[in-house]
Chain A
C-alpha cells in the first residue's frame, strides 16, 4: 500500500466509485445479454420442436 498522505480518502473513493461504476455497467450488460440470449434460444428451440 503506497503512502497516500492526507488525500487517501479522496484517491481511494475515486478509485472505488469508478471501478464500482464500471463493474455495475459490465454486470448489467452481461445480465441483459444472458437474458436475451436465453430467451432467443428458448424461442428457437420451441420453434424447432414444433
Chain B
C-alpha cells in the first residue's frame, strides 16, 4: 500500500467522501469557536485598540494564501512527474480558494491599516508581495479557464505554476530591495509574532486551525467536482466516438 494509491480517482472519491464531512465539520467548529472567542473574549491591545481582533482573520488568511500556492506547486510537480490526474485537478481546485484567501488578507489588511497607519495602502514589501501573489493566482485561473483540452490545460498551468513560483520568490526579494531603496527605514510592516501574548495566541491558533481545515474541505470538495466533471466529459467524448 503506497501513498500513490490515493491518486486513483475512484479511491480518492471513496476516501474523500468519508473524510470530507469530518474535515468540514471540525473546520467550521474551530473557526466558529476561535472567532467568537477572539471577538468576544479577548481584551483590546493597549496600542491598537479593538483592531487587533482583525488579526484572527488576517493572519490565517495570509498564511493560507501562501501555503495554498505551495500546495498547488506540489500538486503541479506531482502531475508533471507522475501524471496523476487527481493531482492536476486538485491544483485547479485550490486556485480560487487561494485567491479568495489572498483577497481576504489584502482587504482585512487594508481595513486594519487605515486606522493604524493612516492609509489603506502603502507600497510596503509585504503588501506588494501579496498583491503580486494575487496576480499570479489570477493568471493561473485565467489560463485554466482559457484552455479547452483538460490535459493541455493541466500541463500548461503546471509549467506556469513552476515558473511563477520562481518569480514569486524573486519578486519578494526584489520588492524588499525596492522599498528599502526608496524609503529608507520607513518600514510600516508589523512584526506580527512579536507582541502576540497568550490571550491572543490561543484563539488565533484555533482560527488558524479552522481556516486550514476549511481550506482542506473546500479543496477536497472542489476536487471531487472536478473529477466528476472530467468523468462526464470523458463519457461524452466516448459516446461521440461510438
Direct touching of A and B (C-beta under 8 Å)? yes
Q: Number of B residues contacting the other chain (C-beta, 8 Å)?
A: 36
- Known interface pairs A14-B107, A17-B108, A33-B228; 11 further A-B residue pairs with C-beta atoms within 8 A, sorted by A's residue number: A2-B40, A2-B50, A5-B49, A10-B51, A11-B54, A14-B108, A21-B100, A29-B225, A43-B232, A44-B235, A47-B239
In contact, A36 and B228 (Cβ under 8 angstroms): yes
Contacts A14-B107, A22-B214 given; indicate if A33 touches B222 (C-beta within 8 A). Answer: yes
In contact, B235 and A47 (Cβ under 8 angstroms): yes
Residues of B within 8 A of A25 (CB): 96-97, 100, 218
Q: How far is the CB of A40 from chain B (nearest CB, A)?
A: 5
B112 interface residue, CB < 8 Å from A?
A: yes
Q: Is the interface of A mostly helix, strand, loop or mixed?
A: helix
Contacts A5-B44, A36-B225, A37-B228 given; indicate if A21 touches B49 (C-beta within 8 A). Answer: no
Residues of A within 8 A of B50 (CB): 2-5, 7-8, 10-11
Residues of A within 8 A of B236 (CB): 43
Q: Number of A residues contacting the other chain (C-beta, 8 Å)?
A: 31
In contact, A10 and B218 (Cβ under 8 angstroms): no
Residues of A within 8 A of B104 (CB): 17-18, 21-22
Show 24 residue pairs from A and B whose CB-CB distance is below 8 angstroms, ordered by the A residue: A2-B39, A2-B40, A5-B50, A7-B49, A10-B54, A11-B50, A11-B53, A14-B57, A14-B111, A14-B112, A15-B53, A15-B54, A17-B111, A18-B104, A22-B100, A24-B100, A25-B97, A26-B218, A29-B225, A33-B222, A33-B228, A36-B232, A40-B232, A47-B235
Q: How far is the CB of A10 from chain B (nearest CB, A)?
A: 5
